[in-house]
Amino acid sequence: MHYYSSPGNSMFCRNFMRPGIIQASLKTQKKIIAGNTRVARNVNMERLRSGYLFPEISVREAQHVEKYPDAKLISLGIGDTTEPLPDIIASSMANYARSLSTAEGYGGYGAEQGNKALRKAIAETFYRDVQIKETEVFVSDGSQCDITRLQLLLGSNVSIAVQDPSFPAYVDSSVIIGQAGDFDDKSRMYGSIEYMKCVPQTGFFPDLAKTSRSDIIFFCSPNNPTGHAATRQQLEQLVTFAKVNGSIIIFDSAYAAYITDDSPRSIFEIPGAREGSQAFVLAGQLFLKELSFSDGFPLIKDFDRIVCTCFNGASSIAQAGGLACLSPEGFAAVCSITDYYKENAKILRNTFDSLGLKVYGGKNAPYLWVHFPGSKSWDVFSEILERTHIITVPGSGFGPAGEEFMRVSAFRTQREYPRSREEAGKSLFIESKNSMVSAPSISKYTTN
């Protein structure tokens, strides 16, 4: 970029001396000084709509804090955890990090696919009953990055389907890789993406009879944002649909640990999900050996290649922590944190219920999906923030079917509230309850 910044550089002089473009050179001189290059913007990036949802919320949060510097902001927005790491996990990472300062303990890059012992522990802890082998487990730096790596693997020529509403990374990564087509402002959908409407009236599951075939189906359960965990019967229908169509399901089970009933924690619990030529992938961790492209080439081999090209392996310190999480003591400690957020979700559900608002989710997921009939969800976001200093997430940020809904996260600490946890939890929301109830524009959404 700096190459263009000086009027004395050779590119500038060459252009300047060519007759006919003197005017253009003078005109562009300003741009050159401002740092413009001659590189065209990626058209796929141009197709992306507005900012990514969560950065947009952060901007609004910062504006609110500036407006009300003394307000006690309660963030039930971005799904970010609040509780400290259990000591056993933090100590394992600290000890591992300390050992890196010794000749015996030091290690550089590990395997791109992850530490062998950790891959084995993941397969055994979560997938023993569904016969997943450690060689099918890839340890990564998070499933968000994996969604993009999977898109890189699949390329721009595949067609995709997403739940509507859905976690925004599926659609945005699809746009970036060039699968999505043009955005239609009226429908607020991309022309080449199949949006599978998942609303209360459909049991938060797509009407598959009305769903066109796609190569790839992104499916998230328990779902972010609706908090709905697909039932066994629903997943059986999905597997059959994918088999009939020769599609691949990318099953995102980021919140499986929150399932409290007998909903499947993994698509692999569904008979047939593994057998046959249509097999399935779990975003972030698993790749079935049997899964192949239409020419018979195994996806796992291409994925391995992508991983080795784009990634040098997860941090070895984080992997030491991961291994500690899967020890009996570590696992129990992690589960107690999950229980804490589940309790938050329960408190939130009760609060919204008592406000007379229709609330979904929060039983098998750390998210609640609250209905504000007839509303625009960004308006409700602003209203709740203004009146109660509570950050939520507007449902429309997850897709057109999210309009009229707000996502509320249970990832919130009760530590800063002075009384007992139970009472503290209540006081957290009573504040909001009073102001919400007293707000006529909110009470019009209630059912009692």
From the CB of 368, what's the least distance to ligand PLP, in Å?
Answer: 14
Contact 251, 278 (CB under 8 A): no
In the bound state, the residue with its beta carbon closest to ligand PLP is: 142
- For residues 4 and 219, which CB has a smaller minimum distance to ligand PLP in the complex? 219
Nearest alpha carbon to residue 73 among 61, 59, 63 = 61
> Packing angle between helix 316-325 and helix 116-127, nearest 10 degrees?
30
Least distance CB 233 / ligand PLP (angstroms): 22
Closer Cβ to ligand PLP, 179 or 221, answer by number: 221
What is the per-residue DSSP string for 173-216?
HHHHHT-S-PEETTTTEETTEEEEE--GGGTTS--GGGPPP-SE
CB of 434 to ligand PLP, least distance (A): 31
Which one, of 333, 351, 343, 360, lies nearest residue 413 by Cα?
343
Give the residues lining the site for ligand PLP (CB under 6 A): 79, 142-144, 167, 220, 224, 252, 254, 284
Closest CB 284 distance from ligand PLP, rounded Å:
6
Q: How far is the CB of 25 from ligand PLP (least distance, A)?
A: 47
- Minimum CB–partner distance for residue 300 and ligand PLP (Å): 20
Answer for the pair 45, 176: CB distance below 8 angstroms, yes or no.
yes
Q: Least CB distance from residue 146 to ligand PLP, whole Å? A: 7
Joined together, the tokens standing for residue 83 give 């509780």
Q: Which is nearer to ligand PLP, 84 or 246 (CB)?
A: 84
Residues 6+ apart with CB under 8 A from 189: 183, 195, 400
Please, which residue, 7 or 142, has the CB nearer to ligand PLP? 142
- Range 331-338 contact pairs with CB under 8 angstroms and sequence separation of 24 or more: 331/125, 333/86, 333/87, 333/88, 333/89, 334/86, 334/89, 334/257, 335/257, 336/86, 337/81, 337/83, 337/86, 338/257, 338/258
| Closer Cβ to ligand PLP, 54 or 331, answer by number | 54
With beta carbons less than 8 A apart as the criterion, state whether 248 and 242 touch.
yes
Q: Which is nearer to ligand PLP, 251 or 268 (CB)?
A: 251
**Which residue lies nearer to ligand PLP by CB, 165 or 375?**
165
Buried residues in 117-126 as b, exposed as e (16+ CB within 10 A): ebbbbbbeeb
Between 115 and 285, name the residue whose CB sits nearer to ligand PLP. 285
What's the closest the beta carbon of residue 426 comes to ligand PLP, in angstroms? 27
